[in-house]
Amino acid sequence: MIVLTSKQMREVEKIAIEKIGIPSIGLMENAGRETALEVKKILEEGNLNSVIVISGKGNNGGDGYVVARNLYNWGIDVKVFLTTSLGAISGDAKVNLDAIINMGIYVAEIIQREHLKFLEKTIKDSDVIVDAIYGIGLKGEISGITKEIIEMINQANKIVVSVDVPSGLNADTGKVEGCAVRATKTVTMQFLKPGLLVYPGADYAGEVRVAEIGIPYRLAAEVGYNYNLVTSEDVKLPKRHGNTHKGDYGKALIIAGSKNMTGAAYLCAKSAIKAGCGLVKLVVPQSVQSVIQGGLYEVITYGLAEKNGILSYDALSSVLKLIEESDAIAIGPGLTHDRDIPQLVYDIVKNTDKPVVLDADALNALVGRLEVIQGKKIILTPHYGEMSRLTGLTIDEIKNNLFEVAKTFIDRYKVTLVLKGAKTVIATKEGSIYINSTGNPGMATAGSGDVLTGMIAAFLAQGFSEEKAAIYGVFYHGKAGDIAKEYVEEYGMTAMDILEDIPEALKCGL
Ligand SMILES: NC(=O)C1=CN([C@@H]2O[C@H](COP(=O)(O)OP(=O)(O)OC[C@H]3O[C@@H](n4cnc5c(N)ncnc54)[C@H](O)[C@@H]3O)[C@@H](O)[C@H]2O)[C@H](O)CC1
Ligand SMILES: [K+]
């Protein structure tokens, strides 16, 4: 699903209004009406009847006046409060403000502290608050009386419907600019915005509904959109035809595990099989091979050179030979960071141009030596801690600048990045950003990443591009976790639950 930044939104609006000639006030009419219909549904569902609209001085506020007019026409008790003086309103917003005043709808300014008491009382007596203070035009932090109004809205414990973007939220990053409205529901105009889809923005937006307001969808391509929300529409699976054999579904080589972490290797290899890979070979330290082979009937295991239960550099030549007969490679889960691993991982990556997914200890192995991945068919799957080690940024710097951090990394290394988090972000070497729509907190469990790595390797082995393998892997991994949640809830969820539900998850792509 297309996602536009506020800059792209403005460009699309400009083309629609100035080039195509769609009247801007018509867009505002549709935006306001779509929002009003949403509010009406909420009132009917809750047998409620009183609404206050709080409008800012821009077109977001203009939408708010249209909302008020529609609600008033439907016999709903509605009052409008301005966070600015009447005289400051202009353009389409002013046309709609004048209309509601002419209709006799209650309008009052809340621009001095003594007005706040009255607003507080009115909020208390109302059922729903419509937040039309700021939309995509927010610049910098909110302060002063408007900040107090937003805090009052949040403390009122009322149903809040935000127009386009919760006021105070940065539409592009999801950051809270000083303060932000916590919405029950956000009705966003024509296209999703990135800030509604990642934290904390996703928390503040509540349930998001995209209102179609009359802007041609094709204009998104004209402005070169590059953000996407991954939905089931984007991850259809090719039908498998009759006369095929396992070789048609790819051969994956997994290099993983050590004497204290055999489970990581198991989960990764088993997930690759479950995600449809035709043949999976697993390289582990020689002394753990029998332990692992036990539970992995469908996987061919290779016990290679080791030192004290950890793969040693002497395993390199055998690994490179196995790579030659594989379509895709996964390296990392449970390797540990000891002794020879960093050099072994570095030289494997250096000596192959096959698609590779690097996870966990393979990422740690490349800290400070990332030049070896430059321009290769490589997918990295760090969580914020691993990304912090790879980039030298703090976890907070990463969390608060997800898109920028991902784009900077991709621009520099021209690989595919899966930045795992509460909302996993995928950045591709073509410069696209994908935000995943599946998954739940129950998946933050040991081994969950190993399962994802196996799934991505499976899609790579089946011939998917790095971009598609990353998107499919992340989406179906989250989908499997959502299915698991239905019966184990989030507290009891284990990586095995996710793994077991991979086949069920894949069904939604067929
Ligand atoms: N997307 C569409 O096709 C349509 C969107 N519409 C709505 O219009 C807003 C965008 O309107 P705009 O006037 O550009 O900005 P805002 O209404 O968001 O308000 C910004 C307003 O407030 C001032 N301001 C900005 N930041 C601050 C701050 N930190 N402190 C104080 N004041 C601030 C700024 O000067 C602006 O005047 C969009 O979200 C939709 O809701 C229309 O419906 C048309 C179609
Ligand atoms: K708003």
Here the tokens at position 105 are: 């709808």
Question: Is residue 134 lining ligand 1, measured as CB closer than 6 Å?
Answer: yes
Crossing angle between the packed helical segments 91-102 and 24-46, to the nearest 10 degrees? 50
Report how far residue 203's alpha carbon sits from residue 82's, in angstroms, rounded to the nearest whole number: 26
Q: Does 248 score more than 80 pLDDT?
A: no
Closest listed residue to residue 507, CA positions, set 136, 171, 187, 237: 237
Task: Give the mutation target among 2, 27, 59, 97 for probing the ligand 1 site: most ligand atoms within 8 A of CB.
Answer: 59
Write phi, then psi, for 348 (nearest 5 degrees): -65, -50
Residue 245's pLDDT is what?
76
Span 274-304, pLDDT tens digits: 999 999 999 999 999 998 988 899 999 999 9
Token look-up 């029950």 returns 184
Please state the rounded mean pLDDT for residues 14-19. 98
Domains parsed from the chain with CATH numbers:
15-225 (3.40.50.10260), 251-421+449-467 (3.40.1190.20)
Report how far residue 4's alpha carbon sits from residue 14's, in angstroms, rounded to the nearest whole number: 14
Q: Which residues are annotated as a binding site for K(+)?
A: 60, 131, 167
Beta bridge partners of 27: none
Please state the rounded mean pLDDT for residues 309-331. 97
Here the tokens at position 38 are: 């949403």
β-bridge pairing 310-311 and 328-331 = unpaired
Q: What secondary structure letter does DSSP report for 421?
A: S
**366 touches 344 (CB < 8 A):** no
Calculate the alpha carbon distances from 50 to 78, 109, 125, 158 in Å: 6, 19, 8, 11
Residue 316's pLDDT is what?
98
Over the chain, what is the mean pLDDT?
A: 96
Write phi, then psi, for 398 (nearest 5 degrees): -70, -50
**Around ion ligand 2, which residues have CB less than 5 A away?**
60, 131, 162-163, 167
ipTM of this complex: 0.95
Question: What pTM was estimated for this model as a whole?
Answer: 0.95
* SS3 sequence of 139-177: CCCCCHHHHHHHHHHHHCCCEEEEECCCCCECCCCCCEC
- Measuring from atom 13 of ligand 1, which residue has the nearest CA? 58
Tell me the CA end-to-end span of the chain in Å, nearest whole number. 19
